[in-house]
Structure 1
């Protein structure tokens, strides 16, 4: 069983609005969600819950994570924002995971899963980012991708073409995502894109709690 990281803030760091519809006590549900997002597989999470007298299946824990609707908190005001995308395999198709990170804190600001990458998708990602955070005065750190450059121009955002340095923060986040997906054969099987994005949003929430 892998060593798990510690989620800061205790069980009160998130709320479960759906708890009244569940038979499982709320503390056990929060523990299951925390264990899975901190690095345990669904099987290992179920095993620990079973030792505590809570008999639940893997699908139940997966559904808790989905229903919790966890995602990075809003309202950040960073000086710089590192933006990049990486490939996520979903069944037999490739999707692109866009991510924005505050390099000063390594916190994930926003993520989005898309079946393609182009200027329109990049612009949509930046629109959502601007709605959630105060980034209009930030300097965006991007690689040489022309679609990211075009999207920054469209929104009137300052950007720098950076290969290393502060932009490495987003690469560290992607390595963690790859580490977690590698535990599950580096592929999301028999899952819809919305379900995968919801899980990745929850993982982003957990990442921000861990750093």
Structure 2
């Protein structure tokens, strides 16, 4: 798996301030978080840590990722923003994953899960994006979704319809998310929506991390 080669890269992007009396050495915790977000299952991550002399449970690794509260870094100033949405299943329910990416860097800027898709929720997503990043002068690349175009128009943000080209950046990211969730039978099972969203935010932080 190509993503695993990134495990030798910088891990400073993982903040372990949540650690209080954790008995696991911090380098092992960072490695466990990296391995899980890079594509290993919880079982395989535990096995890899065990081979290094660190015995922890699948729940422990899961909890590390949840407690680290990883998410994309704010304060970016992109020239273009690709925005789209895709369906994510949590248990037996559909959720919509909204995501914005900088197509010039292939980095995720913001993502959020909603239980439905409406113009009002799209406006909320865009407002959160504007709070995190300077996108006022950016050109938004969108598909033919009318509610997205309406929300951008109401927000006074420039946009153009593009089905290929630079907007493919967000499609590539969605394909990777779909590939990862396929490890869970294309569905987050036995978790709360907030847990699934936390994993997706953590995945975004890993995706953006320097090699």
Interval of TM-score (by shorter of Structure 1 and Structure 2): over 0.9
The CA distance in 2 between the partners of 1:12 and 1:80, in whole Å, is: 27
Give yes or no for the alignment of 1:62 onto 2:47: no
**Match of 2:180, SS?**
helix
8 and 110 in structure 1: CA distance in 2 versus 1, 3 angstrom threshold: farther
In structure 2, how many angstroms separate the alpha carbons of the residues matched to 1:26 and 1:19?
9
How much has 1:181 moved relative to structure 2? 0.6
Matched with 2:183 is 183
**Cα RMSD after superposing both structures:** 1.3
> Shift of the alpha carbon at 1:9?
5.0
Q: Secondary structure at the match of 2:136?
A: coil
Check whether the contact 1:7–1:209 (CA below 8 A) recurs between aligned residues: no
Q: Deviations over 1:8-64 (max 9, x none)?
A: 752222221111232211111111001111111111100011111111111110000
Which residue of 2 is the match for residue 119 of structure 1?
119
Q: Distance in 2 between matches of 1:13 and 1:43?
A: 24
| Correspondence for 2:174 | 174
Q: Which runs of 5+ in 2 are unaligned?
A: none
Alignment correspondent of 2:83: 83
TM-score (norm. length: structure 1): 0.96
Normalised TM-score (structure 2): 0.96
Offset of 1:186 from its aligned partner? 0.7
Contact conserved, 1:139 with 1:159, CA < 8 A, in 2?
yes
For structure 1, list consecutive stretches of 5 or more residues without a partner in the other structure. none
Deviation at 1:209, TM superposition (A): 1.6
